[in-house]
Amino acid sequence: MQPMNQLFGRIKGKSRAITAENPRGLKGEGGQAAGPLGVARKGKAFISLAQGETATLVDVEGPGIIQHIWMTVTDQTEAGWFVLRDLVLRMYWDEEETPSVEVPLGDFFCNGFGARAVVNSVPIVVNPVGGMNSYFAMPFNKAAKVTVTNEHPQEIEAFFYQFDYMLVDELPEDTEYFHAQFRRENPTQLKQDYTIVDGIKGRGKYIGTYMAWTSLSRYWYGEGEVKFYLDGDRDWPTICGTGTEDYFGGAWGFVKYDNGNPVQEQTYSTPFMGFPYFSVKDTTRAHIYDGAACPMRGFYRWHILDPILFEEDLRITVQQIGHDGKALFERNDDISSVCYWYQTEPHQAFPDLPDVLDRRPR
């Protein structure tokens, strides 16, 4: 982040932006496309995505830093909902063969389940209605490439995007690169911790977690501890929290009370932690049996002011432990997650991304 009291100082670099009208981010080449109103009158505000198509959104040479991303897309088509889970965002730094970012579009912006949620945090902001923004700094030395793949069963007629970036003379030698990875386990295994991420090798800092958690068992779900295994930890972690809702900055089950009686869970969205999405009904489809759908909750936690530092390797897990009002019990649920971190390259290849149908709520 650029501190407010440093904005009056000189920032060395050249500002550029990539849109559908200026796909290479070239100087003096923006806004020239022709449309219904003529040349340079909002001629190409978006692109379409054929079913199965991978479109390259960014393909530029460095060194540089992506500073802001804005995207939006319709969240339903004639083929149904789940567009936000069916589109996959990938990012590649410095001509690497495997992506450093591989996440369903909605989940990257803390909008899991294929459903919309307003998010008001420092690095991720989602505004009404579906304006998705990222302020994560994404440095690249030789080149940056960003793609989106349409795995929805139908063409996406309008996909809007803008990447604001800065070209610089050089990056520091010890630059760490931005990464994000998606996982899902449905259902989780009883008495086995859910893995948020594993196999990170190298030096870096862990900066955030998003979780889309669907309860498959009754009663309270959030007693599980989040564990960080650092630099050779095997059986026991160096950092272990006190509970799931504690990790996301809440307490006492997020419960709102009315005249001393528990009424419902309270959502919230703050700069570094939030619970922006809660639904007891699957709003992504219309079906006679969906009225009794399992509760779905979306959480985020940014380690921006308190990054988790590692020098060699990192693994992160969370337990599935509930409470029925009398005692703790082991449970299994449907959990998806996105983890965000910076590290030196090269990175380890990610696990295979779940198939499009295996990413959808069930």
pLDDT in tens, 219-235: 999 999 999 999 999 99
Summarised one tens digit per residue, pLDDT across range 296-318 is 999 999 999 999 999 999 999 99
Looking at the structure, give the CATH architecture of the domain made up of residues 176-353.
Sandwich (2.60)
pLDDT band at 32 (very low <50, low <70, confident <90, very high): confident
Has residue 286 got a pLDDT over 60? no
Distance CA 277, CA 220 (A): 17
Q: How many CA atoms lie within 13 A of 351 on its CB side?
A: 14
Query: How high is the pLDDT of residue 2?
Result: 64
Cα–Cα distances (Å) from 300 to 51, 109, 166, in that order, read 31, 10, 28
3-state class (DSSP) for residue 174: coil
Summarised one tens digit per residue, pLDDT across range 201-212 is 999 999 999 999
DSSP string, 194-217: EEEEEEEESSEEEEEEEEEEE--S
Q: Locate 115 and state its tokens.
A: 């459903």
Distance CA 164, CA 68 (A): 5
Residue with tokens 């703050």: 270
3-state class (DSSP) for residue 139: strand
Query: How high is the pLDDT of residue 214?
Result: 95
Distance CA 345, CA 220 (A): 40
Q: Is there a shared CATH topology between the 11-174 domain and the 176-353 domain?
A: yes
Q: Which residue has the higher pLDDT, 282 or 257?
A: 257
Average pLDDT over all residues of the chain: 93
Distance CA 46, CA 68 (A): 18
Has residue 288 got a pLDDT over 70? no
Has residue 37 got a pLDDT over 70? yes
pLDDT band at 287 (very low <50, low <70, confident <90, very high): low
Domain spans in the chain, listed from the N-terminal domain onward: 11-174, 176-353
Query: How high is the pLDDT of residue 262?
Result: 72
Average of per-residue pLDDT across 269-277: 98
Summarised one tens digit per residue, pLDDT across range 331-342 is 999 999 999 999
Query: How high is the pLDDT of residue 80?
Result: 79
Q: Which phi-psi region, left, alpha or beta, contains residue 242 (left: φ > 0; alpha: ψ -120 to 50)?
A: alpha
Has residue 293 got a pLDDT over 80? no
Share of the chain above pLDDT 70, in %: 96
In single-letter form, the type of residue at position 163 comes to F
Range of 18-22, 34-38, 41-45, 76-80 with top mean pLDDT: 18-22
Q: Locate 181 and state its tokens.
A: 């990875």
Query: How high is the pLDDT of residue 252?
Result: 92
Has residue 278 got a pLDDT over 80? yes
Summarised one tens digit per residue, pLDDT across range 120-174 is 999 999 999 999 999 999 999 999 999 999 999 999 999 999 999 999 999 999 9
Query: How high is the pLDDT of residue 35?
Result: 85
Query: How high is the pLDDT of residue 8?
Result: 84
**11-174 sits in which CATH class?**
mainly beta
Summarised one tens digit per residue, pLDDT across range 102-115 is 999 999 999 999 99
